[in-house]
Amino acid sequence: MIAKSESMTNISHVFSQFDTRGTFGCAQPLGEGLINDTYLVRTAERCCCDYVLQRINTGIFSNVDMLQNNIMAVTRHIRHKLEAAGEHDIDRKVLTCVGLKNSDKTYYYDEASGAYWRMTVFIPGADSFNVVNRALSRDAGMAFGHFQEMLVDIQDTLYETIPNFHNIEFRLGQLREAVEEDKAGRVNGVRCELDAIEMRAAEMTISEQLHRDGKLPKRICHCDTKVNNVLFDNNGKVLCVIDLDTVMPSYVFSDYGDFLRTAANTGAEDDRNLDNVSFNMDIFHAFTEGYLKSAASFLLPVETDNLPHAAALFPYMQAVRFMTDYINGDTYYKTQYPQHNLVRTRAQLKLLTDVELHMPEMHDFITGVLIR
């Protein structure tokens, strides 16, 4: 069934603007994404491929032209790499964007609704997973490391689709501004949490300082490394990485730390019982093994040395963001009760504390993997 906000007629109209093989048959919502509205469009002809049609959330991605140029540059480069390597079944190992009829654009603007749409070829016989385990974590690590490795030599200039997305100095600036303004009158009740954040601020901003010193490069990263952004074939082998909206220049810490923040958390992101929240070292071991297997060939010592820092940086950054929203009166994240963002903040700080306890073990493990 089509979501109430979209009629079958409108989906069919949008579909007809793209240069597809086959004609519109039917459509149904696809996936559980929270950002874009996504539909699987089945063509009427059995001999033709099916398509994934997405309405782009311009509230988050305001520059659609930049967004699509990034995605086209990345998929084109990966396709060339796969062809040069003699890979088979390439159309299932990289996303294929569909252009408009009589245009070189890969997105359509529907004037009637004010919506932007894009389309890719549907990859059949592919699965994604929402629950992580050791095996999937290792595969995800290999997939995201390989994704970075293939893009090390890309010549196209890519831009930040969400400016300052993983810039911790920017996020701390937002928090300090919120504290100064204290719009919701909540600052006095969270002094303990604010102290925990500020006491780590200098340590947590080292990546930005290393970059300014010319020691830490920005690379092309995925920046949304959830396990469900990896497609697997029916035999459980990795096909490709999907959901490329946030592919942009960043530190490799973004892809490494962001995955571990969610996958290695033994509790919920908003767990009220902090005893449930800890850092799962089995997931860390598996993801790190996979990541370094595919990424070690291009990583600099300053990057591998600071991977444990990345594991701490991302729960810290998310705690900063939740705390900022709480102090501002819950204006950004959806909340289910008045203290929700504060509960989230405390859960992230508990995860951070546990990560810090494992720092020596993480360093030793990474060193061991690199010298094998």
Q: Tell me: do 56 and 113 sit in the same domain.
A: yes
Confidence of residue 4 (pLDDT cuts 50, 70, 90): very low
Confidence of residue 42 (pLDDT cuts 50, 70, 90): very high
pLDDT tens, position by position, 309-319 = 999 999 999 99
Q: How many domains does the chain have?
A: 2
Q: Tell me: do 295 and 249 sit in the same domain.
A: yes
pLDDT tens, position by position, 13-24 = 999 999 998 889
pLDDT number for residue 33: 62
Confidence of residue 7 (pLDDT cuts 50, 70, 90): confident
Confidence of residue 32 (pLDDT cuts 50, 70, 90): low
pLDDT tens, position by position, 210-230 = 999 999 999 999 999 999 999
**85 is a domain residue:** no
Q: Which long-range contacts (CB under 8 A, 24 or more apart) does 338-343 make?
A: 340/270, 342/190, 342/193, 343/270, 343/271, 343/272
pLDDT number for residue 31: 76
Q: Tell me: do 170 and 114 sit in the same domain.
A: no
pLDDT number for residue 1: 40
Q: Tell me: do 18 and 147 sit in the same domain.
A: no
pLDDT number for residue 105: 95
pLDDT number for residue 47: 79
Q: Is the pLDDT of residue 327 over 50?
A: yes
Q: Tell me: do 148 and 108 sit in the same domain.
A: no
**364 is a domain residue:** yes
pLDDT number for residue 3: 46
Region at 201 (left for phi over 0; alpha for psi -120 to 50; beta for the rest): alpha
pLDDT tens, position by position, 66-116 = 999 999 999 999 999 999 999 999 999 999 999 999 899 999 999 988 999
**33 is a domain residue:** yes
Q: Tell me: do 110 and 256 sit in the same domain.
A: no
Q: Tell me: do 182 and 293 sit in the same domain.
A: yes
Q: Tell me: do 161 and 290 sit in the same domain.
A: yes
**25 is a domain residue:** yes
Which CATH number do you get for residue 153? 3.90.1200.10
Angle, alpha carbons 369-366-206 (nearest 5°) = 150
pLDDT number for residue 34: 58
Q: Which domain holds residue 38?
A: 8-61+95-122
Give the span between the Cα atoms of 118 and 108, in whole angstroms.
6
Is the separation of the CB atoms in 275 and 243 below 8 Å? no
Q: Tell me: do 118 and 160 sit in the same domain.
A: no
Chain Cα centroid distance, residue 93: 18
Q: Tell me: do 174 and 303 sit in the same domain.
A: yes
pLDDT number for residue 6: 64
Q: Tell me: do 323 and 213 sit in the same domain.
A: yes
Q: Tell me: do 107 and 251 sit in the same domain.
A: no
**158 is a domain residue:** yes
**233 is a domain residue:** yes
**292 is a domain residue:** yes
Look at the pTM and tell me if it is higher than 0.85: yes
Q: Which residues contact 74 (CB under 8 A, 6 or more apart)?
A: 151, 154, 158, 220, 244, 247
Q: What is the mean pLDDT of the chain?
A: 94
**88 is a domain residue:** no
